A and B are shown apart, each in its own frame.
Chain A
Amino acid sequence: MMLFGMIATLAFPLIGFFLITLLGRVLPRPVGGWLACVSVAGAFISAGTVLLTCESSATIGLFNWFEVGNVSAHFSILVDSLSLWMSVMITGVGGLIHVYALGYMKDDVRLNSFFAYFNLFVFFMLVLVLSDSFLGMFIGWEGVGLCSYLLIGFWYETHAYAIAAKKAFVMNRIGDLGFLFAILMMLFFWGTTQFSVVFIQGLGLGAGVLTAMTMGLLIGAVGKSAQIPLFTWLPDAMAGPTPVSALIHAATMVTAGVYLIARSHVLFSGAPLTSLMVVGLGVATAVFGALVALVQRDIKKVLAYSTMSQLGYMVSAAGFGAYSAALFHMTTHAFFKALLFLAAGNVIHGLHGEQDIFKMGGLRKKLPFTFVVFLIGTLAIVGCPPFSGFFSKDAILAEAFAYSRTVFVVLCVVSVMSSFYMFRLLFLTFFGNARYGEKHPHEGALVMQIPLAILAVLATVGGCLDWPQESILTPVLGVTLVVLALSGGVAYFIFGKQVDVLAKQPVSMGYRMLWNKFYVDEVYQRIIVGPFLSLSRGLNQYFEIFLGKLDVVSLRSVRWVGYPFKKMQDGNSGTYILVMTVGILCLLVGLFL
């Protein structure tokens, strides 16, 4: 049962991918999309069945990948509560987004390939969470990167989108290199990367080695989960269609870093230095994302920076040992962030591609359903009880309080900021005067509304999934409500009224810093990419030419050697006889030497 269920879980999306790819030309367009939805639903049902029926954890061996010298790699599936829960979440949320995409993408010419990539993504994500070894995980890890590349650049005719896709891929690869380095270390020490071996023998290594290994894993997580310093791809990745942002860049792929750290917590617990770094990076990212999100004008960019900030939350939580809290937040975040993105997609869809929130406003009446679900999502993300975000954030904050007061305070501040920017987003989009000109916003099709409704329910009640055991619930509840009311009021005061907000743009120094995302992209461009490319160009123009000239130079030197000889060859018999005579003399002189 378990074997069958797990293989079915993996096989459904893969078969879906192949079917849609191979039959892409033949299938009528909606059929390809439905096929994709069905395959993900199949995977969801099989994973869910296993989750419900299976009691204990197990490993299912599939086949040997390669075995060379001391190194061996096997394909096997690890079935435990974490991996099962992750796969159910991926296929569940993924399935809903698939259905939503049916409506969202229905006019696109290449609908079939979109769904093929989507199915492939689900497959690789499942590989990532179901593998029982780091190498297997790496397959999924890179695979989701590839799908992310393909989907960000789905509208590849636009140059900027193709560039964004490339950037995401390459920056992810930097992280992947770190991950691969950790894998190499594991292979070096144990010849395998099976979790069972690594986690049992891992603590036998010295702290130095463990630190190096976990640093590698951390770099991988930083790349995938868009943490400082490898985060700049995530905002750009919003170039993809909105369902992509919801599925990949909010709910599933970007949380893989958190999963990685949580999965290998045994190693991290042996490397306090790395754990400290995890916390530092996570908190810094949370602050950074929240700060930048405060002023962004693009609805998807705000959500992207919010995602970054929330990911920082989870990563830091994983860093100070609150693994279950991190995973809990990851789940609820998957619900409400997917909800928010899809709702934002509805807005964008309704406004025919408009993404600037300063050109929205007053949509409450035009898009009432969307408004309601967006409101639910907002309340969930800001942590308003009794929505799901409240419980998961509370769990993290509680552990943070136990870990370090500073971290706790900073995370609280981030929480305040996040409620501010989320309410800002809400008010600018749905309240105030309509600034979208002549467009006629309309609600999406039913197929887009049903997933939103389900996600809204999940975002509301998702908190029941894991009720915190040792909670500081009551004080937090009060504090939260006060903070929420305050930040919501401020946001409403600034953005909720019927004023022309465009006129009220403050152009202070700090605002410009935030608006330009602290110039991180520019700094990277100036300090790393630019000089590197200049160096390459310089080498290409000068050093290569120099190497190419070497043969000319050597030819010149040959000529130069030949110059005196050439002088002797003047065609004059007298000279020739002279040369001969001198030669004879030299020979005879040589006799006396």
Chain B
Amino acid sequence: MYSIIILTVLGIIGMLGDMLPLKRLFLPVTLLGFALAWLGYFFEFPMHTSLFSFDLISMCFGGVMLVITGISVITVYGYGSFKHGSEPPYTVLALMIFATAGGLLMVAWSHLMMLFLAIEILSIPLYVLVGSQGDRKASQEASLKYFLLGAVASCIFLFGMALYYAGTGSFLLGAVHPHSLVGSAGVLLMIAGVCFKAGVVPFHSWVPDVYEGAPTVITGWMAALVKVAAFGALTKMVGSLSYSVWGLEVMGMAVLTMTLGNVLAVQQGSLKRLLAYSGIAHAGYMLLVFLPVTETSITTVFFYGASYALGTLGVFTVIHILEQSGLSATVDALRGLFKRNKTVTLLWCLSVLSLAGIPPLPGFFAKLLVLMHVVKAHHSGLLWVTFLNFLVGVYYYFRLILYPFTGGLSEESVVLSVWQKVGVVILLILTWGAVLFPEFLLSVF
């Protein structure tokens, strides 16, 4: 509970940010607050009530989300101070903090109603943030689309909850086994609702448009945070649900998701759309972890989420830096990056390689864990599909790596603000840390 409370307070401070004195203390206070919020877990660990359960899962996934938002806050703050003379966008920061609180709740519920609320708490700030670039039409359109589709998804989730209650008479998952058709349908609809957030086919349609429309700093943060939160929630859900009900359906969705993501990512010219589809593909890989749920599933999904978040944050930070230097976020904008800024190129390459799953970067361990899971489950067909998908993925990821080394559109070097530099360095350190000490993340569960 402490973490939620601290974040709420921080959010309120952020809302009032423009009016408060000692503005330069805002960033340190926020980061300190995040640290405290994570420490808060330890004071009440483990806590199980009828509404909440703060357990190891919520602590770990929450920690990752706090790190994601922490880094994003730094870069957003840095972006604000980059634009000469303008104030950091306190409102944006506050909304980010609120959404994070929602994210934390998504992995800390025990009552289905709480899950629904958490999803909404996460979503509503996102709708606003996606549209926060009011002068861009695409941003507004994306916001509206996201909102519309999100509303449909919420309805589906709610309907599923209702059916589940009708079938089992309970709002607690796993309390009663859903033998009934109605209960099973409810389970599926609830999974569908969460899958919408994760960007799983066929609930993925919003992803490319929203990723492209949203301001780039927000896109990266959102992509990482929502994926982790949604998969955290799914982990909590499916662990206590009968495999026979959703197993086949989820398998189908996983295959469709990774295939669609990769196949469409190959054809993209816009960086953000490409990464959106690649994010969809990653959601597909992560779904494989639940087929079936075993004791290693949590570790895998956690590690995968963390490495994906790290890679995504790195990639979007670079894209944002590119846009800041006056280029549009197309694949061609990457050309000549190597000559313009080597550190940024390094971050870009490491992040993309991590997403592509090249050893020894964390993305590789993540994929390895998934593959081991599939092999253990003896789904050989699934294994081949996964490998083919990896290969397609390699094709477009390496195209992304190739471009920085070719002749560029622009020759001028890329300049970063202090806080952006800090963000880049933190991301680099975290990536190398994950290379050298993957044990740290793998051994928690």
Indicate yes or no for A touching B, C-beta below 8 A: yes
A interface, CB within 8 angstroms of B: 555, 558-559, 561-562, 565-566, 568-569, 571, 573, 575-577, 579-580, 582-584, 586-588, 590-591, 593
- Chain B interface residue count: which class? 20 to 34
Chain B: minimal CB distance from A217 (Å): 53
- Is B312 part of the contact surface with A, judged by Cβ < 8 Å? no
Asked if A571 and B203 sit within 8 Å, CB to CB, the answer is: no
Q: Chain B residues near A582 (CB, 8 Å)?
A: 202
B interface, CB within 8 angstroms of A: 144-145, 148-149, 152-153, 156, 181, 184-185, 188-189, 192, 196, 201-203, 205-206, 208-209, 245, 248-249, 252, 259-260, 262-264, 266-267, 392, 395
Contacts A558-B392, A562-B264, A565-B264 given; indicate if A588 touches B152 (C-beta within 8 A): no
Q: How far is the CA of A573 from the CA of B144 in the complex (A)?
A: 9
Q: Could you list 18 examples of A-B contacts with CB < 8 Å?
A: A558-B262, A562-B266, A565-B264, A566-B264, A569-B208, A575-B205, A576-B149, A577-B148, A580-B149, A580-B156, A580-B203, A584-B189, A584-B192, A588-B188, A590-B248, A590-B252, A591-B181, A591-B188
Q: Chain A residues near B184 (CB, 8 Å)?
A: 591
Asked if B266 and A555 sit within 8 Å, CB to CB, the answer is: yes
Count, A-B residue pairs, CB within 8 A: 74
Q: How far is the CA of A561 from the CA of B265 in the complex (A)?
A: 12
Asked if A587 and B249 sit within 8 Å, CB to CB, the answer is: yes
Contacts A561-B263, A584-B189, A587-B188 given; indicate if A568 touches B252 (C-beta within 8 A): no
Asked if A591 and B185 sit within 8 Å, CB to CB, the answer is: yes
Q: How far is the CA of A565 from the CA of B261 in the complex (A)?
A: 9
Chain B: which residue is nearest A574 at the CB level?
B148
Q: How far is the CA of A569 from the CA of B185 in the complex (A)?
A: 27
Q: How far is the CA of A562 from the CA of B188 in the complex (A)?
A: 27
Chain B: minimal CB distance from A552 (Å): 11
Chain A: which residue is nearest B159 at the CB level?
A584
Asked if A559 and B192 sit within 8 Å, CB to CB, the answer is: no
Q: How far is the CA of A586 from the CA of B181 in the complex (A)?
A: 15
Asked if A569 and B264 sit within 8 Å, CB to CB, the answer is: yes
Chain A: minimal CB distance from B206 (Å): 6
**Residue among B196, B205, B260 with most chain A CB within 10 A:** B205
Chain B: which residue is nearest A551 at the CB level?
B395
**Residue among A584, A586, A588 with most chain B CB within 10 A:** A584
Q: Chain A residues near B148 (CB, 8 Å)?
A: 573, 577
Q: Chain B residues near A573 (CB, 8 Å)?
A: 144-145, 148-149
Q: How far is the CA of A587 from the CA of B249 in the complex (A)?
A: 6
Chain A: which residue is nearest B388 at the CB level?
A558
Chain B: minimal CB distance from A35 (Å): 57
**Residue among B192, B201, B202 with most chain A CB within 10 A:** B202
Contacts A562-B264, A562-B267, A591-B188 given; indicate if A568 touches B395 (C-beta within 8 A): no
Q: How far is the CA of A587 from the CA of B196 in the complex (A)?
A: 14
Please give me the 5 A-B residue pairs with the lowest Cβ-Cβ distance, nearest first.
A583-B202, A576-B205, A562-B263, A565-B260, A590-B249
Chain A: minimal CB distance from B201 (Å): 8
Q: Chain B residues near A591 (CB, 8 Å)?
A: 181, 184-185, 188, 245, 249
Chain A: which residue is nearest B273 at the CB level?
A569
Which one, B202, B208, B395, contacts A580 given CB within 8 A?
B202
Chain A: which residue is nearest B141 at the CB level?
A571
Chain A: minimal CB distance from B378 (Å): 21
Asked if A566 and B267 sit within 8 Å, CB to CB, the answer is: yes
Q: How far is the CA of A577 from the CA of B150 in the complex (A)?
A: 10
Asked if A577 and B202 sit within 8 Å, CB to CB, the answer is: no
Q: Chain A residues near B203 (CB, 8 Å)?
A: 580, 583
Contacts A555-B266, A568-B205, A569-B205 given; indicate if A580 touches B252 (C-beta within 8 A): no
Chain B: which residue is nearest A588 at the CB level?
B185
Chain B: minimal CB distance from A16 (Å): 55
Chain A: minimal CB distance from B141 (Å): 9
Contacts A576-B145, A580-B202, A583-B192 given; indicate if A571 touches B209 (C-beta within 8 A): yes
Contacts A590-B252, A591-B184 given; indicate if A577 touches B152 (C-beta within 8 A): yes
Q: How far is the CA of A577 from the CA of B245 in the complex (A)?
A: 24
Q: How far is the CA of A484 from the CA of B189 in the complex (A)?
A: 113
Q: How far is the CA of A559 from the CA of B153 in the complex (A)?
A: 30
Q: Chain A residues near B153 (CB, 8 Å)?
A: 580
Contacts A580-B152, A583-B202, A583-B203 given; indicate if A555 touches B395 (C-beta within 8 A): yes
